[in-house]
Structure 1
Amino acid sequence: MPSLADATRGRILFGGDYNPEQWPEETWAEDVRLMKEAGVTTVTVGVFSWARLEPAPGKRDFGWLRRLLDLLHTGGVEVCLATPTASPPPWLGRLHPGTLPVTADGTTLWWGSRNQYCPSSADYRRYAGALVADLAAEFADHPAVVMWHVNNEYGPVCHCEETAERFRGWLRDRHRTLEGLNSAWGTAFWSQGHGSWETVIPPRSAPYLPNPAAVLDFRRFCSDVLLECFTAERDLIRLHRPDAPVTTNFMTLHPHVDCWSFAAAEDFVSLDSYPDPADPRAAVYASLGQDVARSVGGGRPWMLMEMAAGAVNWRPVNRAKPAERLRLEALQSVARGADAIHFFQWRASRSGAEKFHSAMLPHAGPDTPQHRAVRELGRELGRLGEAVGGEVAADVAVVLDWPNWWALEQRGRPSERVELPELLLAWHGALWDEHLTVDYVRPDADLRRYRMVTVPNLYLADDPAVANLVAYAAGGGTLVCGFLTGVADGNDTVREGGMDARLRALLGVHPLEWRPLGEESAPLTGLDGAATLWSEALRVEAGTEVLARLADGTPAVTRRGRACYLATLPDPALLRRLLGGAAAAAGVRPEVEGLPDGVEAVRRGGLLFVLNHTGAAVRIASGAGRHEVLTGRELPPDAELGPYDAWVLR
């Protein structure tokens, strides 16, 4: 099976999206020259080039792409060749309106932007497959092409009639019979029972709340149908180039598809990461996405497919990114498992919706601080070959499940303020503040190698997931569960008693009533801190220790043996102490003891990355004789790490 290693060959790949179809050909030679000066090894080509490659139905214009690939190869730049199927040309929608996506309220989404395709459309799949097959046949043997990138940021959803028919087939496979579907969806409620498959439709605009189990199944279906699109294109590429690795790109906290399923179908995982320069917790957000990318890929090296050289164009206020932050974000990705660092994009666009998105080569040209920072980063990444292929060690696991995410955030719950990204960032941030590296795991994963497993939320917990968590704790593992966990089964049916009985026995608690909080926080006794977002009327069983209570005496944090339950979201300082204390009791230690806040240390293979995300210099006991790889110097036992600076220690 191909892997990212087939393309890296002992190097950290460095480059970005290259969209030469936006520029006259006389610009290409200058681009290649500047790429080589910047240390670019690889560029991604063709992501949005369908209209250029197929200007009319069945017509192929591959000449310009061959000239470009020849030029890049001559210049020593390798290519990740993309399939352009994320953005069909206008003629496809005009000739085949059924390829255009339809919203839940029946509105057709037209061409003029991107992602204007229905993943279920047979016409879309036919045209996309034909183009990908010809593209693979034409360029599979081109010496510049070292890997392939399919589509882009999968996520389009459609509610049309063609989707409805495919959804019915998916439901037949899942539930077998109408009786099985009616039971799983609880259609006895509100007289929703289906007596014929013809009445089963995708969730569309309705007078009031839609059936939550139907919505959940539709989200599962949408992920699966997009995965079908990916694997169809992947397999066409493999027919012609079985040795070249194939990927597609996720985004940080990507809700649109089940990334566990997608990652299993890829040769390596790719991530687009855009932390906000104005966010004081940007490093936490970035590290969460990096750890998820590494984890869904089974711990294998992954690719940072997109990052920004400066500002983006899609926030209300797009802050510029200082050069030192650009470098630090790239090194943080390498520390957490990336073997390739790419930007969006190489040359800034002069027209189109993203003309104000930064690029490696900005509008102001190469003689700019931004481009100088890019060139310096290319030189530094060239010194990190020994990081390539290195594994990232973690003793703490965080449970993450996409169907749980889709179920948790539907309307009609006790609180619409409860959102999984907020919970993940809170728990991940608490562990990051404690200088602990984590893996993300499926609920049914083998947990035995971890000293501590945390569950920020698992509202939707099927039987295998519950059994797995109980077995882990019974085997002596430390388990920390957040509120509203184990409430519903895999069909989003509330468990008898309001929480799975096996989890109630394990944790020694029984939630009697959910009492979500608003914007207010509630002070706690027993521990210094406050409850936020959520509280519960919690009955505590004999043998369960109450660590913190609300002012009225209601238990908020409990412990039974090595299993803890947080019936609230503690304030950040308290959550940090709780998770840090549980980790220490489980024998988990930071890579470097005594690190200041805002400084992270991550071990990858034989290298230790120390990254200072603060604006102040810090003194760190580096250990005598530590060789710093980026500068080649030996650090004294006690050394100063500058603001937004980094060490890579051997």
Structure 2
Amino acid sequence: MRRRTAPSAFDPSAVRPWNSGLDGLAFGGDYNPEQWAEEVRLEDIELMREAGVNIVSLAIFAWASVEPREGEFDWGWLDATMDRLHEAGVRVALATATAAVPPWLTRKHPEILPQRADGTVLHQGSRQTYSIHHPVFRDYALGTAERVARRYADHPALALWHVDNELGCHCPRDYSPAAADAFREWLRARYTDVDRLNEAWGTAFWSQRLGSFDDVLPPLETTAMQNPTQRLDFDRFSSDALLDYYRDLRDLLREVTPQVPTTTNLMAGSHAGMDYFSWADDLDVVANDHYTTAADPDRHVQLAFSADLARGIAGGAPWILMEHSTSAVNWQPRNRAKQPGEMLRNSLAHVARGSDAVMFFQWRQSKAGAEKYHSGLVPHAGRDSELWRDVVALGGAVRALGEVRGSRVLSRTALVFDWNAWWACDQDVHPTEGLQYLDQVMAWYKALWRLGVTVDVVPPSRDLDGYDLVVVPNLYLVSDDDAARVRAAADRGATVLITYFSGITDEHDHIRLGGYPGAFRELLGVRTEEFFPLQEGETVRISGESLPGGSAPADLWTEKSTIADDVEAVATYDDGPLPGRPAITRRPVGPDGAAWYVATRLSDDGVAHLARRIATEAGVLPAIAVPDGVEAVHRVAEDGTGYIFVINHTDAEVTLDATGAVPSSAASVPTGTDLLTGETFSGEVSIAAGAVRVLRLAA
């Protein structure tokens, strides 16, 4: 297998910005001309000009079109497309064409097909039907990527390399023999000797002790519960292996075009398969895909979480919205079209939260294939459609926001999020099967969103300096160093809130002995002897002044806890298995900090009420008060220019008092301009139902 290492002479500072050659924000999408006849391709260029498209992703699934038979290449259509796009002023994020292998390859080399844990082989006929671990596939993929790179290295349309596509989307875990071999090598590198591996995996339990690394298997289907640390390490290995595959392709591209940036499109917020925080340093720019769930009335909040997470992966830098949908998708149980104005709101919500691009899957809605009912910028109905007119209007809005490019979102609130904790928390044989990692992550995120608090979603490995409020939901697995960072935030004066089932295990998923919540026991001043999870449908009542009306229902989880002398029992259980025991606690830390613990699952109202109290205590409530269903997010340029994105997700007009958003150096009444309409404002700002306003504050 050909393996790549980064070119020794590679100079990161020589990589040009991904959006060089663009005037303002990027607007476009995934373009698949190989699906269409020549006359349609010519019309595409005309329509792109009309809509204001300035960038497309190209050749993502084009391997079989470029190489229809092994060793026989058809470059003509791709050459012509690159040239036409350049002539039209459209930049190209050119793919490695490796995201779907051609049928001739799997027929010739069926050994490259991936497998499920039960041994089922996943066959040709879809996409990503390859094992990234198999040396034969790796050689073919690198060969194809190299041919594409060398052919288009000097093409003036080339802006960015799009490596493969949504890596791990359909096959995040491969259990094939090639994967098993790679897993053993990964474990050798991680643990060095088998005794350390046995200790980490706790193999004294159930006679699982390994005599050598050759005894190791992936966590295949077996008779009963599997070794939890083996499963956790396989999750880590799988994420690292996909990143290693990305690096191989990226390093090849760097050899050919060291000045061209590289990325791949992540799926942050919806995909558990990869630890994207560990990928960040290998991406020249973070790119993310997001699709709303039609059945979810809070889908705009989930969108905001995904965008904030993408920004967190990017370390606060601007990022690329590589894919979202103009309207319906094709893969949900009921694929409902978006409501009027929803595409605009979705698009600009991503921009509000740090994206310097608005891109879609796909440019033209397919007429055949598995995604033919997935919406596009050009719908089946064509140019004479409301959707196309909305696309053209969106292109105009994106152009009007050009000056926002490069500005950053500022936040004083952090939500700690960790893929390792997600993987470990959602395993089976825990105190209750009803506990899922994302449950409390989204509960607290939604409560803060409704308060108008902008949140940075960050890993526990990141320094928490600069945050006045730190929320730590379900951080079940945590290392000593990461737990210390949370403690340091409270010592520095931040308000820290930690929820139940946090700090329970170390990084090997071994219980921290001495009482729960383990790593956070000292910080919180809380010691739990036993968990008392509630049965399905069972609720308890808790009471305390921090709750709406002095009491609130709770479910799922209770704990038999005692508290230190300096800890306040903010709320206690009224009934259930533990009446009188603390349910919510607060411990002062140092002169200004505080550590809160929530030992049960609060109702939505309970979370909302407590979120307001901690946000008030931390001083992070926004300067502009927003009603429910409206978001106001600030981006700030290097020169201090502020932009406020106000997005009204309700069916009623709202009026906001922008006085609090004025910079300290400005007059007492803020004035500015709506970039979308050119209208000026002073003081109060009205936003129509379902509308968006982007306000530039006057200095």
Q: Shorter-chain TM-score: what band?
A: over 0.9
Give 1:556's match in structure 2, choosing from 583, 587, 594.
Answer: 583
Give 1:532's match in structure 2, choosing from 549, 555, 566.
Answer: 555
Q: Which region of structure 1 is more displaced relative to structure 2, 535-544 or 327-336?
A: 535-544
1:126 matched to 2:172? The reply is: no
Q: Is the 8 A contact 1:99 1:118 kept in 2?
A: yes
> For 1:357-372, what aligned pairs fall within 5 Å after superposition?
357-372=374-389
Give 1:427's match in structure 2, choosing from 444, 449, 459.
Answer: 444
Q: Tell me the alpha carbon deviations over residues 384-424 of structure 1, each in whole angstroms, 9 at most, x when there is no partner.
A: 11110001000000111111111110111112222122222
Counterparts of 1:468 and 1:348, CA distance in 2: 48
Q: Is the 8 A contact 1:3 1:267 kept in 2?
A: no
Q: Which amino acid aligns with 2:609?
A: R
Counterparts of 1:85 and 1:402, CA distance in 2: 26
Give 2:598's match in structure 1, choosing from 566, 583, 589.
Answer: 566
Q: How far apart are residue 9 of structure 1 and its match?
A: 4.2
Q: How far apart are residue 596 of structure 1 and its match?
A: 1.0
> What SS does the corresponding residue of 1:481 show, helix, strand or coil?
strand
Q: Which amino acid aligns with 1:565?
A: Y
Counterparts of 2:91 and 2:658, CA distance in 1: 38
Q: Is the 8 A contact 2:517 2:526 kept in 1?
A: no
Q: Is the 8 A contact 1:10 1:388 kept in 2?
A: no
Change (3 A) 1:500 1:596: closer
Give the match for residue 677 of structure 2.
631
1:408 matched to 2:425? The reply is: yes
Give 1:522's match in structure 2, choosing from 520, 540, 544.
Answer: 540
Q: Is the 8 A contact 2:265 2:289 kept in 1?
A: yes
Q: Which amino acid aligns with 1:431?
A: L
Give 2:101's match in structure 1, choosing from 62, 82, 88.
Answer: 88
Q: How far apart are residue 4 of structure 1 and its match?
A: 4.9
Counterparts of 2:381 and 2:623, CA distance in 1: 42
Q: How far apart are residue 614 of structure 1 and its match?
A: 0.9
Give 1:303's match in structure 2, choosing from 296, 313, 320.
Answer: 320
Counterparts of 1:15 and 1:578, CA distance in 2: 42
Q: TM-score, normalised by structure 2?
A: 0.91
Q: Tell me the alpha carbon deviations over residues 52-103 of structure 1, each in whole angstroms, 9 at most, x when there is no partner.
A: 1122223332222111111111122111101122211112211111210011
**Equivalences, count:** 649
Counterparts of 1:529 and 1:647, CA distance in 2: 37
Give 1:640's match in structure 2, choosing from 677, 681, 686.
Answer: 686
Q: How far apart are residue 501 of structure 1 and its match?
A: 5.0
Q: Which amino acid aligns with 2:84?
A: L
> What SS does the corresponding residue of 2:408 show, helix, strand or coil?
coil
Q: Which amino acid aligns with 1:230?
A: Y
Give the match for residue 7 of structure 2.
none
Q: Which amino acid aligns with 1:598?
A: G
Give 1:171's match in structure 2, choosing from 164, 172, 187.
Answer: 187
Structure 1 gaps, min length 5? none
Change (3 A) 1:190 1:538: same
Q: How far apart are residue 5 of structure 1 and its match?
A: 5.1
Q: Tell me the alpha carbon deviations over residues 23-73 of structure 1, each in whole angstroms, 9 at most, x when there is no partner.
A: 112211100100110111111111111111122223332222111111111
> For 1:581-592, what aligned pairs fall within 5 Å after superposition?
581-592=613-624
Counterparts of 1:278 and 1:106, CA distance in 2: 34
Counterparts of 1:600 and 1:3, CA distance in 2: 34
Give the match for residue 616 of structure 1.
652
Give the match for residue 319 of structure 1.
336
Q: Which amino acid aligns with 1:292?
A: L
1:344 matched to 2:357? The reply is: no
> What SS does the corresponding residue of 1:7 show, helix, strand or coil?
coil
Give 2:495's match in structure 1, choosing from 478, 482, 487.
Answer: 478
Q: TM-score, normalised by structure 1?
A: 0.97
**How large is the RMSD of aligned CA atoms in angstroms?**
1.4
Q: Which amino acid aligns with 1:573?
A: D
Give the match for residue 223 of structure 1.
239
> For 1:442-521, what aligned pairs fall within 5 Å after superposition?
442-499=459-516, 503-517=520-534, 518-521=536-539
Counterparts of 1:73 and 1:421, CA distance in 2: 44
Give 2:626's match in structure 1, choosing from 595, 619, 634.
Answer: 595
Give the match for residue 8 of structure 2.
none
Q: Is the 8 A contact 1:187 1:193 kept in 2?
A: yes
Q: Is the 8 A contact 2:453 2:622 kept in 1?
A: yes
Q: Tell me the alpha carbon deviations over residues 541-589 of structure 1, each in whole angstroms, 9 at most, x when there is no partner.
A: 2211111112222211100010000112211122122122112211213
Runs of 4+ in 1 over 6 A off after TM superposition: none
Give the match for residue 273 of structure 2.
256
> What SS does the corresponding residue of 2:686 show, helix, strand or coil?
strand
Q: How far apart are residue 516 of structure 1 and its match?
A: 2.1
Q: Is the 8 A contact 1:154 1:256 kept in 2?
A: no
Q: Is the 8 A contact 2:512 2:519 kept in 1?
A: no
1:607 matched to 2:643? The reply is: yes
Structure 2 gaps, min length 5? 1-11, 589-593, 637-641, 660-669
Q: Which amino acid aligns with 1:258?
A: D
Give 1:287's match in structure 2, choosing from 293, 304, 307.
Answer: 304
Change (3 A) 1:625 1:474: closer
Counterparts of 2:556 and 2:390, CA distance in 1: 42
Change (3 A) 1:33 1:617: same
> What SS does the corresponding residue of 2:159 show, helix, strand or coil?
strand
Give 2:29's match in structure 1, choosing from 11, 16, 19.
Answer: 16
Give 2:248's match in structure 1, choosing from 210, 223, 232.
Answer: 232
> For 1:134-149, what aligned pairs fall within 5 Å after superposition?
134-149=147-162
Q: Is the 8 A contact 1:470 1:502 kept in 2?
A: no
Give the match for residue 349 of structure 2.
332
Give the match for residue 60 of structure 1.
73
Counterparts of 1:369 and 1:591, CA distance in 2: 37
Q: Which amino acid aligns with 1:196?
A: S
Give 1:393's match in structure 2, choosing from 389, 410, 429.
Answer: 410
Q: Is the 8 A contact 2:417 2:459 kept in 1?
A: yes
Q: Is the 8 A contact 1:16 1:44 kept in 2?
A: yes
> What SS does the corresponding residue of 1:559 show, helix, strand or coil?
strand
Counterparts of 2:382 and 2:405, CA distance in 1: 32
> What SS does the corresponding residue of 2:197 show, helix, strand or coil?
helix
> What SS does the corresponding residue of 1:244 show, helix, strand or coil?
coil
> What SS does the corresponding residue of 1:51 show, helix, strand or coil?
helix
Q: Tell me the alpha carbon deviations over residues 358-403 of structure 1, each in whole angstroms, 9 at most, x when there is no partner.
A: 1110001111000100000000110111110001000000111111
Q: Which amino acid aligns with 2:385?
A: T
> What SS does the corresponding residue of 1:361 show, helix, strand or coil?
coil
Give the match for residue 51 of structure 1.
64
Change (3 A) 1:62 1:315: same
Give the match for residue 6 of structure 2.
none
Aligned residues: percent identity? Answer: 43
Q: How far apart are residue 304 of structure 1 and its match?
A: 0.9
Q: Is the 8 A contact 2:19 2:26 kept in 1?
A: no
1:384 matched to 2:411? The reply is: no
Counterparts of 1:38 and 1:549, CA distance in 2: 58
1:191 matched to 2:207? The reply is: yes
Give the match for residue 262 of structure 2.
246
Counterparts of 2:597 and 2:308, CA distance in 1: 24
Counterparts of 1:235 and 1:58, CA distance in 2: 23
Q: Which region of structure 1 is more displaced relative to structure 2, 403-412 or 243-252?
A: 243-252
Counterparts of 2:310 and 2:615, CA distance in 1: 23
Counterparts of 1:150 and 1:341, CA distance in 2: 19
> What SS does the corresponding residue of 1:134 show, helix, strand or coil?
helix
Q: Is the 8 A contact 1:203 1:218 kept in 2?
A: yes
